[in-house]
Structure 1
Amino acid sequence: MSETEPARTAATLHDVAREAGVSLATASRSLNGSTRKVNDEYRQRVLAAAARLNYTTNLSAQAVARGATTTVALLVADIADPYFSSIASGVIAAADEANLIVTMAATDRDPDRELDLVRQLRGQRPRVMILSASRPADDPTADALVAELAAYERSGGHVVIISRNELGFRTVPLDNRGGAEALARTLVGLGYRRFAAVTGDEGLRGADDRLEGFRAGLAGAGGGAAGVPAGADASVDAGASAGADASRASADAGADASGADAGAALPDSRIARAAFTRDGGYAAMQELLGRGLGGAELVFAANDVMAVGALAAIRDAGLAPGRDLAVAGFDDIPTVRDVTPPLTTVRVPLEELGRRALRLALGEDSAGGVTGGADSAGGTAGAADSARPEREADPGPALEVIVRDSTPPLASPRP
């Protein structure tokens, strides 16, 4: 540009609206992530006009005007875990549809870190915060976390929790107990009677729910469940096999029946706990092998990444997974379809969980969100001393038991 050439003024939203031949409101909704639908023809005209004029949305000005940015904050426990990356994929897909941008942070399953991240994010004023991480039952930061999230909602933000509703905010629930119970019934139907388990550290809510549900399913099946056809990806609907009510009713009985070694399908002596990771699964499986499996025919891993670690430990011990010792997991992350042998598991619609979480936050989902501790005016029971809500009755998205080669049918119990 020459010294005499005047500086070019940056295009404004008014310029874009005029260029596209639409109203200012339509131009704003097309560019700024509004949840209100815009006619696709108008939206394309606005986007084309913005490109011609080199218009860039002023995110800082939007944040001041709205009290929030066009970002979605997603907190996960471990971004390297395909469970959480699949949920993130669903959140990102839904955010793209709403012209929003997702920022992500990992809590490393550390409640103090999660609380610090929420505090930092409040200062960045995201439009939505989605929390997807299993918390310890005795979380010392729970009250402080609720207070931070409630303050964020009072300032205009939207909070959604994935899986558990113990914090009192809108939730996309996941029936971990019911899914694990359905898996146990299916495995009994395949002929298995003696089980071991590798699971997360005691007190981790998601892991505990799955172990309790699995034990309840074994107690309820009693060896009389109907068989399931063999073959890759044979499936059983978890809701049909084990309803939420049956899961709740039999959970206590299952835990009692399984607590002692004598005559138990899954005695305490055949349970090993470790980190809820692939390496944790490997270490826990090594621990079980070192103790002696006590005749166990099948190992239940409380998530698929632990199952992958368990498969490796079984191989390293000179055994053949599926043939010498069956293995089942939970989640159906993409990896387990390609491991050898392909893993029997409970299919969780992970991407759909992410999509539903964002749609619920934006007020677009009516198919499974649960509002815990919210009053009719939209406020939350967010004070640190408020009562926690009862567990939601809605079981959330349907789960499926997927039977693959890691659990071949047994004609008779192994000796």
Structure 2
Amino acid sequence: MPVNLTEVARHAGVSLATASRVLNGSARSPAPDISERVRASAEELGYVANAQAQALARSTTGLVGLVVHDIADPYFSAIAHGVQEMALQSRRQVLLAGTDLGGEDGTPRSAELAAVKAFISYRTDAIILATSRFLEEDPLLAKSLERYIKNGGRVVTLGTTSIPEARVVTIGNFDGARELAAALLARGLTRFAILSGPHERNTARSRVAGFMSALAASSLEPLAVVPGPFTSRGGFDATIECLDTLKITSGQDEAESPLCILAANDVMALGAMTAIRSRGLRIPDDVQVAGFDDIPTLRDHFPGLSTYRLPLEEIGRLAAGLALDPDARPLATVTGTVMLRESAGQPTFVADGA
């Protein structure tokens, strides 16, 4: 049988209330010698504190819920690392949930709702939604989180959301995509196709809009816009469809600008590169590729992928800061840096010279 608090109090020669104040973290602290005696008894008897009792005593659980799409995706793992780093500095623990396998109905939406309900039931102090927000939020999710916030919880999202009173880490997806496309246009590229990602996700739509804005400024339109999941397989399938639609089966005429595929994230771009090679095409001679995010694993891929570098771990730290500090104020937009590499026919360098 587990040792209970009553046994610890008896062993230490104190009241049950005193033992509870020491071990459950109440703001009312007994004298140091009494506290030390209680902790020594707990250690000797092998007592493990009850998390729910501690939460009641402190009015906080010290827990933060984090929802990602797929923790195996380097984008989300980098953000999660930043969240955890900040949480540990504040002596908090992170509960993690993924939505990639879907919920009861097999969809990410239902998985996200289930995760949020679980975090609320565990009385987490805050919930961070690191998944890209939807064009229209699930009404059940929004209602649950609105009630959670009214009861003292804090909710942080990455990107704009319609969830009332949620705190937002604003990421410069539109401007970053526009800067990346503009840098490629400045190199003389004129033929572009866009792997747009899932249209229902705000991140995908903002990045595509940024690509389109840069092309329009040069009086250009994409030759194709192909949607698909934010996954390597999604990028592979969308690229095969793109190559077939544009009938690209061999190297380009030397007088013609090579096709440049703009992917809405790096994972799709890596899938695109695999698809291009599977057709016997060369990167960057026949087809060029650019992504978005600069995920940490890009250093393991060749040719180097041109992309827009976001400070992913810093985004995680910023989100955690908003979640942990009740008095935190809205943040400025998080921006990044254009990185042109071999996949766009360029030796690796930072486009703005920084």
TM-score (structure 1 length as normaliser): 0.67
CA contact (8 A) 1:162 1:174 kept: yes
Structure 2 Cα separation of the partners of residues 186 and 57 of structure 1: 57
Q: What amino acid maps onto 2:169 in structure 1?
A: V
Q: What amino acid maps onto 2:338 in structure 1?
A: V
Alignment map for 1:12-411 (pairs within 5 Å): 56-108=48-100, 110-139=108-137, 141=138, 143-168=139-164, 169-220=166-217, 222=218, 264-267=220-223, 270-292=224-246, 297-363=259-325, 369=330, 394-395=332-333, 397-409=334-346
Structure 2 Cα separation of the partners of residues 301 and 401 of structure 1: 14
Structure 2 Cα separation of the partners of residues 327 and 135 of structure 1: 26
> What secondary structure sits across from 2:177 in the alignment?
helix
Structure 2 Cα separation of the partners of residues 167 and 360 of structure 1: 16
* Aligned position for 1:245: none
Q: What amino acid maps onto 1:363 in structure 2?
A: D
> What secondary structure sits across from 2:195 in the alignment?
strand
> What secondary structure sits across from 2:325 in the alignment?
coil
> What secondary structure sits across from 2:65 in the alignment?
strand
- Residue 293 and residue 337 in structure 1: after superposition, are their counterparts in 2 closer, same or farther (change >3 A)? farther
Which ranges in structure 2 are unaligned for 5 or more consecutive residues?
Answer: 13-19, 28-35, 101-106, 249-256, 348-354
CA contact (8 A) 1:32 1:57 kept: no
Q: What amino acid maps onto 1:196 in structure 2?
A: A
CA contact (8 A) 1:326 1:408 kept: yes
> What secondary structure sits across from 1:153 in the alignment?
helix
- Higher-RCO chain (CA-CA 8 Å, sequence separation at least 6): 1
Identity of counterpart residues, as a percentage? 38
CA contact (8 A) 1:32 1:99 kept: no
- Residue 59 and residue 313 in structure 1: after superposition, are their counterparts in 2 closer, same or farther (change >3 A)? same
- Residue 170 and residue 200 in structure 1: after superposition, are their counterparts in 2 closer, same or farther (change >3 A)? same
Structure 2 Cα separation of the partners of residues 149 and 332 of structure 1: 31
RMSD of aligned residue pairs (Cα, Å): 3.2
Give deviations 1:133-191, integer Å, cap 9, x for gaps.
1233144x1x3222211211222221111122332311111111011011011111122
Structure 1 Cα separation of the partners of residues 145 and 204 of structure 2: 25
> What secondary structure sits across from 2:95 in the alignment?
strand
CA contact (8 A) 2:258 2:288 kept: no
Q: What amino acid maps onto 1:120 in structure 2?
A: A
> What secondary structure sits across from 2:344 in the alignment?
coil
Q: What amino acid maps onto 1:87 in structure 2?
A: I
CA contact (8 A) 2:294 2:308 kept: yes
Q: What amino acid maps onto 2:344 in structure 1?
A: T
Q: What amino acid maps onto 1:130 in structure 2?
A: I
* Aligned position for 1:230: none
Which ranges in structure 1 are unaligned for 5 or more consecutive residues?
Answer: 1-6, 16-23, 35-44, 223-256, 258-263, 371-393, 411-415
TM-score (structure 2 length as normaliser): 0.78
CA contact (8 A) 1:68 1:157 kept: no
Q: In the TM superposition, what is the alpha-carbon distance from 1:33 to its structure 2 partner?
A: 12
Structure 1 Cα separation of the partners of residues 85 and 234 of structure 2: 31
* Aligned position for 2:350: none
Q: What amino acid maps onto 1:266 in structure 2?
A: P
